Every structure is written in C-alpha cells, then in structure tokens.
Amino acid sequence: KQEVTQIPAALSVPEGENLVLNCSFTDSAIYNLQWFRQDPGKGLTSLLLIQSSQREQTSGRLNASLDKSSGRSTLYIAASQPGDSATYLCAVRPSSGNQFYFGTGTSLTVIP
Amino acid sequence: NAGVTQTPKFRVLKTGQSMTLLCAQDMNHEYMYWYRQDPGMGLRLIHYSVGEGTTAKGEVPDGYNVSRLKKQNFLLGLESAAPSQTSVYFCASSYAGGYDGYTFGSGTRLTVV
C-alpha cells in the first residue's frame, strides 16, 4: 500500500516569504500526483496535477515538482500572502489500482 | 457550474438511525468515490465505483453501503449510524484511471449522537 507523508504538519511564515511544502511517498510506481488546498470547514480545491512523465507544473505563484525516483514532491509558494493560509494536501495515484492516497496535510499560516 | 454536488451539507443523527448521502456529478466522469476525513487520520476511502452499476470496497467500508444506479449519482448509506461514524464525508469523481485527477464535492458534516 502506498504511504504518503507530509512534513511539517504545520508551518507559520511571515507574509512575503517564499516557502516549500513537502510530500513523500513510499512506492515510486505512480501514475500522477495532485496537490489540493483545503480551507477550514470546506472541500478540497485542486491546485496542480503532475503526471508521472512530468517534472513540474506551474500555476501563478505555485510550482509543484516531482521526483519519482526519490519518492518526493514539493509545492513551492512564492511571495506568500495571508490568503494562502489553508491546509495543503498531496495525493498520489499509483500505477495500478483505482484510488488516490492522501497525506495528512500541512497547515499553513501566513502572518500579515 | 460543472462539478460535484453533495447533499445534505450538515446532518445530526441519533445512534441507530439511517440516512443516505447523495453525490451528483455533471462531468460525465466514470469513477466516483466516497471518502471520510477525520482529524489526524487524513482522507480514507470508504467505497468507490468504476462505472454505472458497479461498486467496490475501499479502506474503511464497514457500516456503509453504496449504490450507483445512474452514472452521475453515487449514494452512500448508513443503515444504523454509530458515534464512530461522526466525520466529514467527501465525494470525488474522475475520468477512468484518474488521468486528470480528482474533483471533490464540498463535503457533508455528519454528527451521530
């Protein structure tokens, strides 16, 4: 079974700082990896999806990278803003099987 | 807007009562999923469906049943609710194989007293 780990569980940074969130997975045989954002009491909003053949994806101030061989993905957030405060989840889709496996998330607080 | 719609958004049940959660998607996705989210546990798969008329068990299926009579709808049933089923339930859908990732509903917050 794929195990997905996100460290740290919580992160607090001052506004304007660039930051990196980490996601590691145990089985490198993946189909794709997806980063989500979850605001308190809300659903999951997709941020970026990286296919196994890709190294990175970018959307605005967000950049996600994927290194399958080392079982790692990072989500880079540039020039953080208070509105970025949320929990960020990564989910891994193995090459076989029908589901994504989720990490427990990193709770980000951006201090004005 | 296209997407995944869950009803109801909130519900309080007494132990032993039954209820059905409805998930509807209008993206013509083949695959649909039910997850529960609990503090410190992350998202855990309850049941999923790979097409109309099909269902399969996930990681934590006990105490739940599902049905997918129509492609666009996926129902999650609790026959006899227990306090351990207090959770936030999320429905998600994807194209076959998940090549474009998941789309999630906004969740149902269920409390069993």
**Chain A contacts in chain B segment 63-92 (CB below 8 A):** 90, 92
Cβ separation B99–A51 shorter than 8 A: yes
Distance between CA B99 and CA A8 in Å, rounded? 28
Amino acid letter, residue A56 = E
Amino acid letter, residue A30 = I
The residue of chain A nearest to residue B55, with distances taken between CA atoms, is A98
pLDDT of residue A104: 93
SS3 assignment, position A64:
strand
- Read off the pLDDT of residues A32-61 as tens digits, 9 standing for 90 and up: 999 999 999 899 999 999 999 999 999 999
Cβ separation A43–B58 shorter than 8 A: no
Cβ separation B43–A42 shorter than 8 A: no
Whether B56 and chain A come into contact, CB under 8 Å, resolves to yes
Instruction: Centre a 10 Å sphere on the Cβ of residue B39 and count the other Cβ atoms it contains.
Output: 8
pLDDT of residue A14: 97
* DSSP characters over chain B: --SEEEE-SEEEE-TT--EEEEEEE-S--SEEEEEEEETTTEEEEEEEESSTT--EE-SS-TT-EEE-SSTTEEEEEESS--GGG-EEEEEEEESGGGTT--EE---EEEEE-
**Chain B contacts in chain A segment 20-79 (CB below 8 A):** 31-32, 34, 36, 41-46, 49, 51
Low-confidence ranges of chain A (pLDDT < 70): none
Cβ separation A43–B42 shorter than 8 A: no
Distance between CA A49 and CA A63 in Å, rounded? 11
Cβ separation B48–A98 shorter than 8 A: yes
Cβ separation A43–B103 shorter than 8 A: no
- Over its C-alpha atoms, chain A yields an Rg (Å, rounded) of 13
pLDDT of residue B1: 61
pLDDT of residue A93: 92
pLDDT of residue B34: 98
Q: For residue A49, list chain B residues with Cβ-Cβ distance below 8 A.
A: 100-101
pLDDT of residue B40: 81
SS3 assignment, position A83:
helix
Instruction: Work out how many CB contacts closer than 8 A connect A with B.
Output: 53
pLDDT of residue A1: 82
In angstroms, what separates the C-alpha of A33 from chain B's closest C-alpha?
A: 8
Low-confidence ranges of chain B (pLDDT < 70): 1
